[in-house]
Amino acid sequence: MKIRTRKAIGTVATVTFLIVYALVAMAVGGEFAVGRGTVVELVFYALAGVLWLPVVMMIVRWMAKPDAG
C-alpha cells in the first residue's frame, strides 16, 4: 500500500476514533465522575484526556511507514 493511501485511511480512522472516544468518555464521565467530587472528576478527565494517545500514536506510526519495495 502506498503511503498516500495509508495517510488517507489513517486520517479517516483517527478522526472517527476521536469522535467515538470523545462521546464514550463523555458518557462514562457523566455516569461515574460527575457529582462525585472535584478530585474524582479531575482524575477521570485527566486520564480520559491521555488514554486516546496510544491508539492515535499507533495509527500515525502505521501511516508514516515507508512504501514497500
Q: Is the model's pLDDT at 57 over the cut of 90?
A: yes
Type and span of the H or E element at 7? helix 3-32
Under a CB-based contact definition with an 8 Å cutoff, are residues 14 and 62 in contact? no
This prediction has a pTM of 0.87
Asked whether residue 38 is domain-assigned, the answer is: yes
Instruction: Determine, yes or no, domain membership for 28.
Output: yes
Q: Is residue 68 part of a domain?
A: no
Question: Does 69 map to a domain?
Answer: no
Asked if 17 contacts 24 with a C-beta cutoff of 8 angstroms, the reply is no
pLDDT (0 to 100) of residue 17: 98
Distance CA 42, CA 3 (A): 39
Residue 11 scores a pLDDT above 90: yes
pLDDT tier at 26, thresholds 50, 70, 90:
very high
Whether residue 32 is contained in a domain is answered as yes
| Grid coordinates given for 66 | 515507508
Split into its structural domains, the chain has a count of 1
Domain holding 34, by residue range, is: 3-63
